[in-house]
Amino acid sequence: MPPIAIISALHEELAAVLERLPDERREHVAGRDFWRGHWHGHDVVAVLSRVGKVAAATTAAVLAERFGVAAMLFTGVAGGLGPGVRVGDVVIASDFVQHDMDASPLFPRHEVPLYGRARFGAGAALSAALADAARRTLAQPARTLGEDAVAEFGLQQPRVHTGLIASGDRFVATSGESAALRQALPDALAVEMEGAAVAQVCHDWGLPFAALRTISDRADDSAHVDFPRFLTRVASRYSTAVLDDFFNNYQNNS
């Protein structure tokens, strides 16, 4: 059975994933460590993409070509853009756009030249299964995070949203920039730095792709004060708990 890829952009998240793969074996390709193992009986390959669209695209291309993966999952953090998308919520991507793609006047703003489109869709069935797993996990955040973290980060009733994710090669940390993004892409729920690149690679290879992003900040001047702590205490724990539920329930029909 071809493996399912699990991609993380940051070390803390990959470390949490690897703790769940008791039998992982390392393969080094293109300067990256790819970890092959099993999760609830499913063949998986986990990898650190590193940050940004090019690093993510390289990683995804290796997963497609060298590892022959059946599908790709991305877990990570993002800045919230949509109204009501709060720190501690989770966004499951329905589609992706590169917010910094602009070849105008040759092509409309955001359109990826010669693809005839600005948006790349997530795999519907894969994303629905990931969203179900996220809803089950976030229904009882204290079970995953502990009461202390729920209180510390004020995560009483975290929500799961599904919608557009905007990706670009910059960390958005000013109110001016997030306002401009909201104006340019009013339906974008969250901003991060890799998803649209992986979505484009998956489009090229005809592979389903789903992404889960825990909201770590509001992409403005009030960006979360203790990002590393949020990453280890909240986002990484959500990711592994959601993936654990996902693989426990996932039927690979491909």
| Residue ranges in contact with ligand ADE by CB under 6 A | 77-79, 171-173, 191-193, 216-217, 219
> What's the min distance (Å) between Cβ of 158 and ligand ADE?
16
- CA distances 110 to 17, 53, 94, 175, Å, are 33, 15, 17, 21
What's the first-to-final CA gap in the chain, in angstroms?
9
Q: Which is nearer to ligand ADE, 4 or 57 (CB)?
A: 57
> What's the min distance (Å) between Cβ of 73 and ligand ADE?
17
> What's the min distance (Å) between Cβ of 219 and ligand ADE?
4
Q: Which is nearer to ligand ADE, 79 or 208 (CB)?
A: 79
Is 217 labeled as catalytic in the residue annotation? yes
Q: Which is nearer to ligand ADE, 136 or 175 (CB)?
A: 175
Is 100 labeled as catalytic in the residue annotation? no
Q: Is residue 160 within 8 Å of residue 92, measured between CB atoms? A: yes
Residues 84, 104: Cα–Cα separation, whole Å: 32
Token code pair at residue 11: 């070390």
Catalytic, out of 24, 111, 217, 245: 217
**Residue showing the smallest CB distance to ligand ADE in the complex:** 79
Sign for the pseudo-dihedral over CA of 58, 238, 136, 253: positive
Could you give the residue numbers annotated as active site? 13, 217
